[in-house]
């Protein structure tokens, strides 16, 4: 069993069709949707975590590729400009994983390895100094 | 005999470098350890601090006269309109005013850029008069190149602001930050036991003429702040208001301010505002002030209100202490909800310490209020009159 994260980019014509169901039913994968922005008739993006046997994950990814969905290993990176940060704490209110938290001195600390790249903090930060790049 | 000290006695000690100055956080522990009487005897001044987004803020600027002179009717600073319904080259730049060209830039950014020493582009237009013939001009200004630049904030330093949550199933973007659906989080915006107006709840020493720390400069309280609520119910013992009550109108020289203690901010889908840093010194004139300056986060309660109604009266979900809020997680019913501040405790603490140093070094003397702020009066709402709807 292994756990891996991927970014799926859906072309316009694929956003109307369900795919998660097949990944569960046909390939026995446990799926955690970390982020999804799918609107019918528009290009969509989904960030998922797949948990399952290695060959099942591979087959599942091939199935997605055949549908024209682009699959990329998740390799995003979160950064915080600590020089500029005023430690207001607003980002900690939307961070569900504790990647951004206040330490004992009430300063913001970033634990990048805990970040699931949901991007909620990016718009919430009033100084716009948190960046996520895919 | 109770302990009594005067402003004059405390200022004499400050001038001699003998005053005992502590921050509000330190005072909480001193009173816990030594009791109110000993603390009142020992401590002369308690410093407070807050660093929070405060939308009712801005600055008056005087550019100096051009040749030929102009009587400004419209003025843009880096593309941000500044109010010019004043004399020829005076204006007021408000922090929430957005740029005409960039939704992420506004009045707060102009003020921050000026304080950072940057050049700001000035564009003025006018209809022209016999005495002011010039109709349009473009130039650059800096904080040094203009005559006056003073911050004048009509409403800062709220006494006990509400905390916010969202019971709806949609995400809300507010001035209290991003509120996640179904009470996914709670945000709060006071510095708790460091917050100025929570430490002298009935404004005995905080009034018109009080010298304060304002964004790194020495400033003054000039009036009760706008929306000052004199009508709020207060706790019998601590005298703290149950909800948002007192506010301060403050003034200070922009030319002496420091970007470290102010910062332009953009709240997603809400707009532009500015973090303002304020510190107020409280003289310990007697035991009552020693007691009130030592009110701790455990005794400061605020309402968690639901921002999903879109109405003036927002329902209160729960009442909690700052001690609970600052743990980062509170329980309401069976649900554990993450909490997050909007106000920087780190900066508030820094401000209280800077003010403490100023006083210890004899660079900042205390001033007694020339007039006290009101504690009784009516708080008024606004009624919409549909029948007189403006027809264009």
**Which residues of chain A does B187 touch, with a Cβ-Cβ cutoff of 8 Å?**
90, 93
Per CATH, domain A2-73 is 3.30.70.260 = yes
In this predicted model, which residue has the larger pLDDT, B259 or A117?
Answer: B259
- CB contact under 8 Å between A106 and B346, yes or no, is yes
Rounded to two decimals, the ipTM of the complex is 0.93
Q: Cα–Cα–Cα angle for B365, B370, B375, nearest 5°? A: 115
Quick one: which of B4, B304, B32 has its CA closest to B183? Answer: B304
Q: Classify the C-alpha dihedral B58-B64-B66-B70 as positive or negative.
A: positive
Residue by residue, DSSP assigns A80-93 as E-TTT-----GGGG
- pLDDT (tens digit per residue) in B262-304: 999 999 999 999 999 999 999 999 999 999 999 999 999 999 9
Residues of chain A with pLDDT under 50: none
How do beta strands A30-37 and A77-80 pair? unpaired
For residue B76, the cross-strand partners are: B81, B123
d(CA B58, CA B40): 37
Backbone angles phi, psi at B287, to 5 degrees: -70, -30
What pLDDT, on a 0 to 100 scale, did the predictor assign at position B222? 98
Query: Cβ separation of B349 and A106 shorter than 8 Å?
Result: yes
Cβ-defined contact of B178 to A87 (cutoff 8 Å): no
Mean of per-residue pLDDT scores for chain B: 96
- Separation CA B83–CA B74 (nearest Å): 8
Residues from chain A that touch B339, judged by Cβ atoms under 8 A, are 93
CATH architecture of A77-133: 2-Layer Sandwich (3.30)
Helix (H) or strand (E) holding B307: none
- Where are the domains positioned within chain A? 2-73, 77-133
Q: What is the pLDDT of residue B221?
A: 98
Domain ranges of chain B: 7-54+152-361, 64-146
* Cα B279 from Cα A90, distance rounded (Å): 22
Contacts of A25 (CB under 8 A, 6+ apart): none
Q: What is the DSSP letter of B134?
A: B
- Selecting from A89, A102, A128 the residue whose C-beta is nearest the C-beta of B266 gives A128
What is the pLDDT at residue B392? 64
CA B255 to chain centre: 19
């Amino acid at each position: 069993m292994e756990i891996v994260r991927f970014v799926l980019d859906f072309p316009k014509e694929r956003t109307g069709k369900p795919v998660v169901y097949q990944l569960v039913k046909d390939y026995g994968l446990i799926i955690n949707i970390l982020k999804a922005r799918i609107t019918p008739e528009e290009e969509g993006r989904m960030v998922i975590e797949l948990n399952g046997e290695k060959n099942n994950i591979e087959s599942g990814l091939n199935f997605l590729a055949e549908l024209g969905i682009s699959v990329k290993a998740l390799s995003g990176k979160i950064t915080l400009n600590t020089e500029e940060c005023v430690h207001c704490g607003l980002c900690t209110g939307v961070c569900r994983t504790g990647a951004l938290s206040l330490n004992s001195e009430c300063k913001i600390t970033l634990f990048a390895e805990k970040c699931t790249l949901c991007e909620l903090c990016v718009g919430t930060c009033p100084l716009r100094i948190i960046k996520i790049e895919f | 005999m109770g302990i009594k000290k005067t402003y004059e006695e405390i200022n004499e000690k400050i001038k001699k470098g003998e005053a005992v100055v502590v921050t509000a956080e330190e005072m909480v522990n001193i009173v816990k350890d030594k009791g109110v009487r000993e603390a009142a005897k020992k401590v002369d001044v308690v410093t407070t601090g807050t660093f929070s987004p405060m939308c009712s803020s801005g600055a008056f600027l005087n550019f100096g006269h051009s040749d030929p002179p102009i009587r400004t009717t419209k003025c843009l600073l880096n593309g941000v309109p500044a109010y010019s319904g004043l004399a020829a080259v005076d204006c007021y730049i408000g922090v929430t005013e957005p740029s005409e060209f960039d939704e992420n830039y506004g009045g707060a950014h102009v003020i921050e850029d000026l304080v950072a020493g940057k050049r700001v582009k000035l564009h003025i237009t006018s209809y022209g008069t016999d005495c002011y013939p010039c109709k349009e001009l473009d130039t650059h200004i800096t904080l040094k190149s203009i005559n006056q630049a003073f911050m004048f904030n009509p409403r800062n330093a709220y006494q006990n602001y509400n905390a916010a949550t969202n019971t709806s199933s949609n995400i809300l973007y507010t001035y209290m930050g991003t509120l996640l659906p179904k009470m996914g989080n709670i945000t709060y915006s006071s510095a708790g036991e460091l917050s100025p107006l929570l430490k002298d709840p009935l404004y005995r020493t905080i009034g018109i003429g009080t010298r304060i720390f304002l964004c790194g400069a020495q400033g003054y309280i000039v009036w009760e702040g706008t929306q000052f609520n004199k009508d709020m119910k207060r706790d019998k013992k601590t005298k703290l208001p149950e909800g948002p009550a007192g506010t301060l109108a403050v003034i200070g020289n922009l030319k002496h301010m420091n970007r470290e203690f102010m910062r332009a901010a953009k709240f997603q889908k809400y707009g532009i505002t500015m973090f303002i840093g304020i510190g107020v010194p409280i003289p310990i004139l007697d035991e009552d002030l020693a007691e009130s300056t030592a009110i701790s986060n455990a005794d400061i309660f605020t309402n968690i209100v639901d921002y999903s109604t879109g109405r003036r009266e927002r329902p209160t979900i729960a009442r909690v202490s700052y001690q609970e809020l600052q743990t980062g997680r509170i329980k309401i019913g069976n649900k554990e909800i993450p909490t997050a501040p909007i106000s920087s405790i780190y900066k508030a603490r820094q401000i209280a310490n800077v003010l403490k140093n100023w006083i210890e070094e004899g660079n900042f003397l205390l001033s007694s209020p020339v007039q006290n702020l009101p504690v009784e009066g009516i708080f008024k709402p606004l009624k919409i009159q549909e029948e007189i709807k403006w027809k264009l």
